[in-house]
Amino acid sequence: MRDGGMSEPHDADASRRPLLVVADSLAATYPGSDAPALASVTFELRGGQRLAVLGPNGGGKSTLLRVLSGQLQPSFGKLELPAGRVALVPQTERSRLDFPVSALDVATLGAVARLPWYRRPSRADRALALDALGRVGLADRAHRTYGDLSGGQRQRVLVARALVQDAPLLLLDEPFSGLDAPSRRRLELLLEELAGAGRGLLLATHDLDQARACELVLCLNRVQLAFGEPERALTPQVVERTYGAWLHGTGDPEEQPASPGRTP
């Protein structure tokens, strides 16, 4: 993905892109818990950049997404989202798949984020959603039942929903989990295209290769261990501290990443 020729131009004029996230010493604690789920998170993200948040399960990736999407207040530190709107692309396994709604219905829900509670999405919003489904390559599946689609297709429907939200910043929670190789490649290309068009993308992942393909990486295991360009940030020491238990063979394999990464 990095060799695709898209990332170099972004890096060159990165400083001219608008700032989307400024996080300074962020910490977050869930209600009823004493220990922070997340601490010392400091980073910046600009339009056109893809940032991989790398860490093991339970390392605080989802917590960071919840803070950035406004669902959890930071308990410490400063968070600025200069562009305002943020769209979350959750894992599709979290949603009810037996709901009687079409892919188009789900994509249209992106408009709900911009509307007061009593307003329904309009015909124009539906047209926007159909257009967004076209952009993720699902125009022909618009009228299929959402729950009948494959995991990769559902993930792209949720990306389309985020496009309907029209937010400059997209947060994706493990977007590649459970996808087969072609679906995965298809989603990678889509995300690359969105970044190329100036959107900022923040991807939570536990896959090192996925992280290397992004412009920026942030390593998280309850506290932030590193932030920067992958080739500089992903030192062996950082990778070991990120996945410590797994590399030492003491962790529960079920709790650890499926692919800690090949050597590049």
Partner 1 sequence: MIDWLVEPLRSTVVARALAELLLLGVVSGSLGSWIVLWRLSYSAESLAHGMLPGLVIAALAGVPLVIGGAAGLLVATLAIAAVGRVPRLGSDVAVSVVITTLLGLGVLLGLAPETPAGLDGILFGDVLGVSDGDLALTAAIVAVVLISLALLRPSLVVVGLDRLNAAALGRRPGAVDVALGLLLALATLVAVEDLGNLLVVAMLVGPAAAARLVTRRLTSMMLAATAIAVGASLVGIYASYHARLAAGASVTCALALAYVAALAARRLTAARRSASARA
Please report, as ranges, the residues that interact with partner 1 according to CB under 8 A.
69-71, 86-88, 90, 94-96, 99-102, 105-106, 109-110, 112-113, 115, 117-121, 145, 165
Which of residues 57 and 99 has its CB atom nearest to partner 1 in the complex? 99
Least separation, in Å, of the C-beta of 116 and partner 1?
9
Least separation, in Å, of the C-beta of 50 and partner 1?
20
For 202, left (φ over 0), alpha (ψ -120 to 50), or beta?
beta
Angle between helices 151-165 and 123-135 (to 10 degrees): 130
Q: How many CB atoms lie within 10 A of CB 161?
A: 26
Least separation, in Å, of the C-beta of 158 and partner 1?
9
Q: Determine contact, residues 129/164, Cβ cutoff 8 Å.
A: yes
Query: Taking Cα atoms as reference points, which of 95, 126, 120 lies closest to residue 108?
Result: 126
Least separation, in Å, of the C-beta of 64 and partner 1?
13
Which of residues 141 and 212 has its CB atom nearest to partner 1 in the complex? 141
Which of residues 65 and 225 has its CB atom nearest to partner 1 in the complex? 65
Which of residues 96 and 262 has its CB atom nearest to partner 1 in the complex? 96
Which of residues 48 and 90 has its CB atom nearest to partner 1 in the complex? 90
CA 43/CA 64 separation, integer angstroms: 12
CA 207/CA 49 separation, integer angstroms: 18
Least separation, in Å, of the C-beta of 124 and partner 1?
15
CA 248/CA 239 separation, integer angstroms: 12
